[in-house]
Amino acid sequence: MLILKTLSLGSQHGYGIAQRIKQTSESVLNVEEGSLYPALQRLLMKNLVKAEWRQSETNRRARYYSLTAAGRKQLQVEMSQFEQLIAAIGRVLETA
Amino acid sequence: MNWRQRLEALLHRGRFHREMEEEIAFHIEATERELIASGLTAEEAHRQARVRFGSREATHERVHKVSALPLESCLHDLRFGLRMMRKNPVFSIVVVLSLALGIGANVAIFTVMKTVMLDALPVREPGRLLMLQSGVKDGVFPEKFMHDYEGSTWVEDKSGLRFGGSMPRAVYDAVRKQSTAFENTFAFASNEENVNVGLGKRAESGKLQGVSGTYFDGLGLVPYEGRLIRPSDDDAAAPAVAVVGYKFFMNQLNGDPAAIGRMVTINDTPAQLVGVAPPDFFGLDPTVAPDFWIPLSIYAAQWQRNAGPNDDTLDNSFVWWLTVVGRLKPGITAQQALAETSVLFGHAVQAPQDGKDATIPLLRLADASHGLAFLRQRYSSSLWLLAGTALAVLLIACANVATLTLARGTARRGELATRIGLGATRGRVVQQLTIECILLSVAGCCLGLLISQWMTAVLLQLLNNRASPLGIAVRVSPPVLLFALAVSLICSLLCGLAPAVGITRSAVSGIVKQTSAAVRGSFRTGRALVAIQVALCVTLVMAAGLMLRTLHKLQSIRLGFRPQNVVAFTVRPGLNGYANEKLLRYYDNLLEQVSRLAGVRSATFAQFGPVGEGSSSSLVYIPGFNTSEKRSEYSRHIVGNRYFETLGIPIVMGRALGERDTPTSKGAIVVNETLAKKYFAGQNPVGRQAILGTREKPRICEVVGVAQDVRYAEIRDEVPPTVYIPISQTPYPLDEVSFLVSTVGDTRALPNMVRAAALEIDPSVPVVNFRSEKAVIDQHLSTDRTFARLSSGFAMMGLVLACIGLYGTVAYGVARRTGEIGVRLAVGAARFDIMRMVVGETLTVAVVGIAIGLPGAWFFGQALRSQMYGLGPHDWLTQVSAVGTLLLVSFCAGVIPARSAAAIDPVAALRNE
């Protein structure tokens, strides 16, 4: 979900995704490279993201991932599910 | 990514790999730049970036796993497995061979057993065929209903009832006409007959079966050529027809379709050949396999002619001679059919003449889908025994595979631990080991199937001996192939994978060290497995020993005659209508012709050839020894002139039978030594009287000579008291005789010369069954020989496999204990002590195995009792040599690793530690 959200802001390469998550979460969430690439591969296989080779900002060839239509839809679903979950946890914590 | 993309990824693995590599490199580079930006030196940043990323290989592997088809890793493992097989050829060859031998033996026996015991008849819907059988209690012959019973022996079932399959004609007629449960009822003569078949200018001998006109329709058979016998053929007024068996058609008639429609002469009756039976059909009793089928009407007419006009045998309901089979109508149960048929049977069997208390024999309907059951009984015990032996070999082979995998797995522990450490999941490693196992088992299975082809042929030869060849074709069928594949997979997975999985488990816990408890555990398991192998081996070697000793004893029996250079052949002029005077004249003519041939030293003829060709016995009254009421049994041989001279049987006292014993001269007989000893109390019997014949018609004979004992019929049996009667004086006409010819020099031309001579006398009487007496004896012992060979072969396989297992375990143990042995040597142990220690441990395993195996061998010996001759199941010589062989073999298996143990360099060994 985090990857999908990150990509919803625009296409990005693997390193960029990791950096973006780290920055926006103010270093709370640290995506391990060991899990990032398998996760991207899984998303590719589910057709939620697509990949293309482009020049990076440092003029090197890098693989840029971007969301597909299905990916956008999936993000919506996951976000709403997540919000429901957070809301539910919040209610439990408040009443306790 | 869909399947197409996946496939592309699979096909462009290289590109996929490169792209992944590039992406990772980019990632690391980017991290590096970031670190430099945060103030690290270029060098430090370079290092840090790589540390942060972690294992590139592991990432690679994981990404790969997400996208890869499972097939891909399998292909990869397959390649790796093949490489491992090549890398370790001894291991692979031994495992494949072990499996192949075990599987080959079992497939061969399973194939034969399936054919003999499980396969249904090759007819339409065999499951609906039921055979009528009558049962009597306590073996009492139901004489109120039956005077004469023709056909198969009676079979006793579990409840003590004895069942036979023959019925009087009246029962067949009643069931055929009145049954509502059967859609078709057919019958055939229970006894098959040997016939002479005239085929134009030549004559052949064949087997004949009389069948009802409904027979082929009832079985639902389609002819190979022409047509089969129809109901309209089974009528005394219809023209005579005959159907020929496929084998006879192909071999004797050269498969020529023009032969259909021709006339043949079956015994004396000309009949038109109307068709050929389907290739895989051999009648209902596969031990009989008729060459010709004729309608019952002709069969009855021939019988009538032989028996004389006043004999109404075949219509007499006291003569039970027909096997009756019915095909159930759809929807009718066997119980309903039985209820109805029992009533018909009760009416048809003639009511008792005296007394109303006689109970009618019980009727039952037996499943006829497998044909008649007698074959199964004849062979099942030998087959089960062989199956047991083969199973023992398979078990040894499995234990061997397990031992070897265990030892090799331990050797590969380091490799496996490294792979797991480098990021392979345990599932992935197990998958790889499974594929290696499957590779080995498939190789073993293929080789095993090849071996089984050969072994099936050997087995069939074993079953095909003696006078009645099996008319069954054995084919490797899909179930057999499945059986082989299943056996090999189960064996290799159980025996190969289980230890391998155990090793991965311990490897997972990161043990790369060699001296763990797990290693010791697997070593103990290995020794236990080897002990079991040795135990199974004891049984096999013992069985082989008993069979070999039996064969040896049989071969060294003194036969009492000279089989060298004796040739025999058979003529059956009685089947062509020769009788009495004419018959005797035929024999004399032929004997004269044969005696004149070149290379013939002496010739004679007799009722039976010496070995393995049946015997007949009767009762004799000897005044002074027994009474005419209590007569003693003797074995009867009717012989022609010069019998004793031709066979080289010494006459101990008196004279031989010869030309002076004519039909009109005084009855003369020669007895054997056993009879002289038993019935004449060892006194000289020459000149004494013996009364043969029946009480009503006694025939007083004089003993003119005593001949040395000869083993007739069964070589295994004790020599019975025997009487030789000259053919000229016998009241029994012999329809057929065996000629015995003692020859000198080259005898290859003899059969053709004899045939030419016989053709001159009467072209319709064939000369059959040419055989040399040596070959007859060999053939007679063929079962014992094949049994001995097969069991020795199995024992050898077992020994070799156990030896390999023992060697492997000990060698592995030595390798494992290199350090310990090094210490022992370093503190002053002599190299001889080390050798003694290793060999001693080997022998301990062997002795434990032998101790476990002896009770099993004892039971196996008991089971083999019926196959043995001249020794008991606990023959000490066999036992001692079996145990000795095993000890010797295990000693040899231990010596080689013991030598390598003694050659260990203590310094190197300790440094290794």
How large is the ipTM? 0.77
Q: Which residues of chain B have pLDDT under 50?
A: 1, 355, 466-469, 510-517
Spatial separation of the C-alpha atoms in residues B264 and B239, rounded to whole Å: 13
Which chain A residues are Cβ-neighbours of B54 within 8 angstroms? 32-34
Shortest CA distance to B154 belongs to which of B171, B175, B138, B143?
B138
Which of B1, B30, B58 has the CB atom closest to A47's CB atom? B1
Which of A38, A60, A61 has the CB atom closest to B66's CB atom? A38
Residues 810-849 of B with CB under 8 A from A: none
CB within 8 A of B371, min separation 6: which ones? Answer: B121, B283, B284, B285, B286
Q: Is B56 on the interface with A (CB under 8 A)?
A: no
Which chain A residues are Cβ-neighbours of B53 within 8 angstroms? 33-34
At B308 the pLDDT is: 55
Spatial separation of the C-alpha atoms in residues B472 and B379, rounded to whole Å: 13
Instruction: Report strand pairing: B193-199 vs A61-67.
Output: unpaired
Spatial separation of the C-alpha atoms in residues B854 and A75, rounded to whole Å: 74
Spatial separation of the C-alpha atoms in residues B436 and B427, rounded to whole Å: 14
At B155 the pLDDT is: 64
φ, ψ of residue B721 to 5 degrees: the values are: -60, 130
How close A62 comes to chain B (CA, Å)? 6
At B243 the pLDDT is: 92
Nearest chain A residue to B32 by CA distance is A15
Which chain A residues are Cβ-neighbours of B30 within 8 angstroms? 15, 58
Which chain B residues are Cβ-neighbours of A31 within 8 angstroms? none
Spatial separation of the C-alpha atoms in residues B157 and A14, rounded to whole Å: 82
Q: Is the Cβ–Cβ distance between B537 and B795 less than 8 Å? A: yes
How close B53 comes to chain A (CA, Å)? 6
Q: Is B21 on the interface with A (CB under 8 A)?
A: no
B54, A34: Cβ pair inside 8 Å?
Answer: yes
The CA-to-CA distance between both ends of chain A, in Å, stands at 29
A44, B1: Cβ pair inside 8 Å?
Answer: yes
A58, B6: Cβ pair inside 8 Å?
Answer: no
φ, ψ of residue A27 to 5 degrees: the values are: 65, 10
A15, B6: Cβ pair inside 8 Å?
Answer: no
A37, B1: Cβ pair inside 8 Å?
Answer: no
Spatial separation of the C-alpha atoms in residues B329 and B345, rounded to whole Å: 19
* Fold designation for A2-95: Arc Repressor Mutant, subunit A (1.10.10)
Which of B6, B58, B66 has the CB atom closest to A42's CB atom? B66
In a 10 Å sphere around its CB, with 0-12 CB exposed, 13-18 middle and 19+ buried, how is residue B582 labelled? exposed
Spatial separation of the C-alpha atoms in residues B772 and B567, rounded to whole Å: 4
CB within 8 A of A20, min separation 6: which ones? Answer: A6, A9, A12
Q: What ranges do the domains of chain A cover?
A: 2-95
Spatial separation of the C-alpha atoms in residues B545 and B881, rounded to whole Å: 8
B365 three-state secondary structure = strand
At B467 the pLDDT is: 40
How close B1 comes to chain A (CA, Å)? 4
Which chain A residues are Cβ-neighbours of B22 within 8 angstroms? 61, 63
| Cα dihedral across residues B719, B721, B727, B732: positive or negative | negative
B23, A47: Cβ pair inside 8 Å?
Answer: no
Q: Which residues of chain A have pLDDT under 50?
A: none
DSSP B682-741: TS--TT-EEEEE-SSSEEEEEEEEEE-----B-TTSPPPPEEEEEGGG-SS--S-EEEEE
Spatial separation of the C-alpha atoms in residues B60 and B453, rounded to whole Å: 49
Spatial separation of the C-alpha atoms in residues B645 and B656, rounded to whole Å: 8
Which chain B residues are Cβ-neighbours of A18 within 8 angstroms? 27
Which chain A residues are Cβ-neighbours of B62 within 8 angstroms? 34, 37-38
The pTM score is 0.61
Q: Is B237 on the interface with A (CB under 8 A)?
A: no
Q: What angle do CA B621, B622, B625 make, to 5 degrees?
A: 115
At B136 the pLDDT is: 74
For chains A and B, what is the number of CB pairs under 8 angstroms? 61
Q: Which residue has the tokens 């119980």?
A: B335
Which of A15, A19, A38 has the CB atom closest to B63's CB atom? A38
Which of B27, B58, B67 has the CB atom closest to A15's CB atom? B27
Burial B441-478 (b: 16+ CB within 10 A, else e): bbbbbbbbbebbeebbeebbebbebeebebbbebebee
CA distances from B727 to A76, B288, B532, B732 (A): 112, 31, 62, 9
Q: Which residue has the tokens 């199974």?
A: B536
CB within 8 A of B842, min separation 6: which ones? Answer: B806, B810, B890, B891, B893, B894, B897, B898
Spatial separation of the C-alpha atoms in residues B409 and B88, rounded to whole Å: 12
